[in-house]
Chains A and B, each alone.
Chain A
Amino acid sequence: DAKTTQPPSMDCAEGRAANLPCNHSTISGNEYVYWYRQIHSQGPQYIIHGLKNNETNEMASLIITEDRKSSTLILPHATLRDTAVYYCIVWNNNDMRFGAGTRLTVKP
């Protein structure tokens, strides 16, 4: 079983922030949280990763709770092109599995 839990689907209005939650209650101290997205049968695209601190890059922000048991990916101004399946992943070197992800639909 994947080590993360995500809602199967979410909607977001264009131009608004999209906040995608993820639970990873069994995460170990040295395991990173990674976020990827997959736009309709394209190869998964890396978005961001973090260990303990909140992170921000040109695509998104990642907020990790202090106990590291959950995180939130924030797309600050969602566009129609952000419609995709978003995967929250916690990997170790022997288990590189993806979960089912969250299907985000950005609506006009």
Chain B
Amino acid sequence: DSGVTQTPKHLITATGQRVTLRCSPRSGDLSVYWYQQSLDQGLQFLIQYYNGEERAKGNILERFSAQQFPDLHSELNLSSLELGDSALYFCASSLDPGLAGLGGANVLTFGAGSRLTVL
């Protein structure tokens, strides 16, 4: 158990639908990151939040949105789903000492992922 909790583990839905993936970061971590991994593809960075604020954005589609709540958990919302959105979605968390003004390395801890299947 990495300490990063993702729910649900598996989700099957239809095209055009909307889903929400949830992530609880490791205790003490302030940053949350979302990644998408399609079948046999690499990890695509989607977005980062730090202490409730968006800090970095990667290859996130306009149909996708995310937020980090005051209790630091995060949700990734995927709407108007397409077949190509079928993938593993990973959440990671870190203290992010750079943003905390401490300097040093930024080690990410990943959750086990949510597998989304769009039919």
Contacts and interface: CB of A to CB of B under 8 A. Distances in A.
User: Chain A: interface secondary structure?
Assistant: loop
Interface residues of B, number: 28
A60 interface: no
Nearest to A95: B56
B88 A41 contact: yes
B109 A46 contact: yes
A11 to B, nearest CB: 19
18 contacts: A32-B105, A32-B106, A36-B108, A43-B2, A43-B92, A45-B110, A46-B107, A46-B110, A49-B105, A51-B105, A93-B96, A93-B98, A93-B106, A94-B55, A95-B45, A97-B44, A97-B58, A101-B42
Interface of A: 32, 34, 36, 38, 41-46, 49, 51, 87, 91, 93-101
6 shortest interchain CB distances as A-B pairs = A43-B110, A98-B43, A32-B105, A94-B56, A44-B110, A96-B45
